[in-house]
Amino acid sequence: MAIVSPKAKIGRDVQIGPFCVIEDDVVIGDGCILESRVTIKNGTTMGRSNHIFEGVVIGGLPQCTGIDEVNSRVNIGSGNVIRENVTIHRSMNEGDATEMGDDCMLMVNVHIAHDCHVADGVIMANNVMLAGHVSVGARANISGAVGIHQYCRIGSLAMVGGQAHIVKDVPPFVMVDGVTSQAVGLNLVGLRRAKYTTEERKILKGVYKILYSKDLPWCEIVKKIEEQYTSGPGLEMANFISSTTRGIITARHSGTRTRGKADLQTKENETQEAEGMPDTIRLHVVGEER
């Protein structure tokens, strides 16, 4: 009942359900489970022990107008759970790949477009939509119905609330409110679960406070963060912030504009100041943990 190309490379103990279609240039690692109606298209390589549910399509042609068949790939790691009707498209560029790491969970109807890079341990809830060239850091958590604009980056251990529309980079360890699509502090619960120490969390609060400072233009913010944080999670956050090309999301109710290189275009932009964060937001930054 399944159609499996004799040219596909199928590992040991792989279970392939009814009505699945496995094309020629496919590699499936040991112990994978494919439920019914799964389609794995040319250019897909999959590691071990992935569980793929009904209606999933992996390796489809990018959704770009006028694009022809291209020799590109989708590379998927091991231990992932990919639920019903997920779609993952291969790269739009010859020889390049859309990539996903290990131990991720993609819930129903997630779409990962061409040339995205998803790191290990990422969770995406139902109906998350990644446009092309999106990067998602390790152990990030993206809630239901979130839409992410092309070329945006989601930092590691970030938490994005449901129905957010992300058009700028989300720094590592930051929590995003789904209603406003703005930062509301650090993902302290995620940091504790990931065993970040009290001192490390204190360092990250310091970076966050500088990032959303009302007193500094963008160029001074980047300089101050790079000078003060030269190791550990502070350095990770500093590197992410300094390398943004789309800008960084604002903080909720802070009055700040989007942080990013666009702020450097004119002196007028650099000198526009934000209003102070209300206490309810400031508690996420400098308040004592409970």
> Per-residue pLDDT tens for 18-43?
999 999 999 999 999 999 999 999 99
Confidence of residue 259 (pLDDT cuts 50, 70, 90): low
Q: What are the catalytic residues?
A: 114-115, 132
Confidence of residue 260 (pLDDT cuts 50, 70, 90): low
What is the CB-side half-sphere exposure of residue 79 using CA atoms within 13 A? 9
Residue 225 contacts residue 211 (beta carbons within 8 Å) = yes
What is the percentage of the chain residues whose pLDDT exceeds 70? 87
Confidence of residue 285 (pLDDT cuts 50, 70, 90): very low
**What is the rounded average pLDDT of the residues 200-219?**
93
Residues spanned by CATH 1.20.1180 within the chain?
Answer: 191-286
pLDDT attached to residue 215: 82
pLDDT at 59 over 90: yes
- For residue 3, the cross-strand partners are 21
SS3 at position 14: coil
Q: Alpha-carbon distance 169 to 285, whole Å?
A: 19
Write the DSSP string, 209-261: HHHT-SS--HHHHHHHHHHH--SHHHHHHHHHHHT-SS-BPPBTTS-PPPBSG
Q: Name every residue whose Cβ is closer than 8 Å to that of residue 182 and which is 6 or more positions away in sequence.
A: 176, 249, 250, 251, 252, 253
- CATH fold for domain 3-133: UDP N-Acetylglucosamine Acyltransferase; domain 1 (2.160.10)
Residues spanned by CATH 2.160.10.10 within the chain?
Answer: 3-133
pLDDT at 45 over 80: yes
Q: Name every residue whose Cβ is closer than 8 Å to that of residue 204 and which is 6 or more positions away in sequence.
A: 173, 186, 191, 196, 233, 234, 237
Report the first-to-last Cα separation within the chain, whole angstroms.
57
Distances (CA, A) of 70 to 43, 67, 131: 10, 8, 19
Give the H or E element holding residue 159: strand 159-160
CATH architecture assignment, domain 191-286: Up-down Bundle (1.20)
pLDDT at 94 over 60: yes
Q: Which residue has the higher pLDDT, 220 or 257?
A: 220
pLDDT attached to residue 284: 35
Model pTM score: 0.86
Other Cβ atoms within 10 Å of 128 Cβ, number: 25
Of 1-10, 60-69, 192-201, the one with minimum mean pLDDT is 60-69
Q: Name every residue whose Cβ is closer than 8 Å to that of residue 19 and which is 6 or more positions away in sequence.
A: 1, 2, 36, 37
pLDDT at 183 over 90: yes
Q: Alpha-carbon distance 243 to 147, whole Å?
A: 22
Which residue carries 């129903």 as its tokens? 108
**What is the rounded average pLDDT of the residues 64-76?**
88
